[in-house]
Structure 1
Amino acid sequence: MESIVTLWFVNVTDPGTVLEAEPKADRGFGRKYLAQLNPAWPITPIGQFPLNRSAQASPGEFYIAGFPGITVVQTVLTETPSLSELNPRLLDSIPAKDIYAFAVNRDTGYGGIAHWHDGVLKRSLCAERTRTYEDVGLPIPFESPFWAGERAEAAGGISLPFEPVDLVDEAQRSWLGVDISPDGPDIHVVGYAVDGRPEPKVAEAPRHRAQPGPDRTAEQSPAPGDSGDYDDYEDHKAEESSSDSLARLADTTGTAARQLGRGVGHWWQRTRTYVTEKLRHSDRD
């Protein structure tokens, strides 16, 4: 039976606080982890995304992240209906005080939860509604409403009074201290393939440099030595007199005004005459 298994290796007393901060995933960490887990694997990064807002891992894929005191690994396993029988190489791949495992197959209704503390299995429950694969240890308090039939309608016969998949969701919230659903904080991970597929190619947008249009005037073009890429550099030219500055402004504005139409041009002629008279009288002072 194929199931999606998510392992949490925890070395902090309050993992919820760490995860609520939405730490970023280190792309290099996952590559090193997989190289140590199986040096023969061809490792291909396939993307970065929130674990709880993306499609779950597919066969041949690992979603991995290393946070302060916490490591999460999600992959697809076959023939592991009992979490106590997880491959020791995978289970021991990260030294941790507490290890939590969650397994689901939503097509069959299979759900599994397990907790190891200091290397000792404390609790494991792996089941479908009509079949229990493993029931080790005492029920945890968060399981009570499920066993009491408060979380699902009765199915009768030998069926469990709850859906095992629903118990998995509750176990994650209780053990990790944070909502792992899409409503919770982003759990940033990096995805890797180990089946030899090529790395996805992302097309780069072509870079275009702005070209001067056919109507661009000399006043609008960059001066020799100026950078055409930036417009916030100082223009270190000699300071102009107030009369020269006003005259140059009048000429430049006149060019723009003429381009706007004849009506604006008539207005400009009157304004230019006024400005010229002001300049002429100013020069006499």
Structure 2
Amino acid sequence: MQPHDAVVTLWFVNADDPAAVLSAEPKADRGFGRKYLALMDPTWPIAVFGQFPLNRSVAVSKGEFYIAGYPGITIVQTLVSNMTVLSELSPKLLSSVTARDVYAFAENTDTGFGGIAHWREGKIRRSFCARRDRVYEDIGLPEAFENPFWSGERATGPKRGIDLPFDPIDLVHEADVHWLGVDISAEGPDLSVVGYAIDGRKEPRIQSPKTAKSVADVVSAASTKLGINPNTRDYDDYEDAPAPQPADNHMGAAVHGSKQLARRVGRRLRTLKEVVQDKLRHTDRG
């Protein structure tokens, strides 16, 4: 990430109780994000590359959007270049969804930059953007949740010269909780989003179930490649194994079979786990 880039997360809120909506862990709709991006710019080549919890995933990279539409709430996260003041955020992005309240949170963890902003009915009420050693923007009066930061109660590390008495990114995380009413960190409820790319990449292929290998297939292939499959004659049967017991499912059968194979090659040989690891290493080279 470049020094003046920032990951910006926008929350478009029309719900009266956003905390109740988020606590229910609604699922994101892939079609919603496609329509959103198509309206933003019809020329963008849109590709979906995954669906995951926003608060348990790495932030977006250049050319990516994380999007979710919940009842009364829309989330859009993207990487914005030359971001130092949220009040100058692109009007196209800021007005991409009609909402009573719009909240913006910006971070660059490499530089320590953090920014928060709140618009009500299209008018900015609060914006604060800074690094520890520099304030870029301070619009509106500090809200009550900011007081412990300004008073030094939330200080982290020694203060040097005219440094702020807090880390701006810590203020961003506190604003999340205050404005949205729920902890949206990794400790909070899952926030399902869909990842989209607009940089021309192709959507990842999903392996067909017909071609996916079972655990038993991997075990058999590994043992054969290493010459210790019971169907070959190049192994030592140090110990007779008892007859296999019925398994509840295919996975149970595979696990039981792998244990039986490990007993046959003896305690002096490697465990089944090592066999599979060796197989994967050798097949990768081939």
Structure 2 residue 137 is matched with structure 1 residue 158: no
Moved more, 38-47 or 197-206: 197-206
Aligned ranges 1:1-285 → 2 under 5 Å: 1-152=4-155, 153-206=157-210
Q: 2-side partners of 1:112 and 1:138: how far apart?
A: 15
Deviations 1:161-183 (A, max 9, x none): 00000000000010000111010
Deviations 1:76-111 (A, max 9, x none): 000121000000000000000000000000010000
Identity level (%): 62
Greater than 6 Å deviation, 4+ residue runs: none
Gaps of 5+ in 1: 209-285
Please give the TM-score of this superposition, normalised by the length of structure 2.
0.72
Q: CA RMSD for the aligned pairs? A: 1.1
- In structure 1, give the amino acid aligned to 2:207: A
Please give the TM-score of this superposition, normalised by the length of structure 1.
0.72
Q: 2-side partners of 1:132 and 1:117: how far apart?
A: 23
- In structure 1, give the amino acid aligned to 2:162: I
**How many residue pairs align between the two structures?**
208
Q: 1-side partners of 2:49 and 2:72: how far apart?
A: 25
Q: Which residue number in structure 1 is paired with residue 269 of structure 2?
A: none
Which one has the largest radius of gyration? 1
Gaps of 5+ in 2: 213-286
Q: Which residue number in structure 2 is paired with residue 242 of structure 1?
A: none
Q: Which residue number in structure 2 is paired with residue 234 of structure 1?
A: none
How far did residue 203 of structure 1 move? Answer: 1.2
Q: 1-side partners of 2:171 and 2:71: how far apart?
A: 27
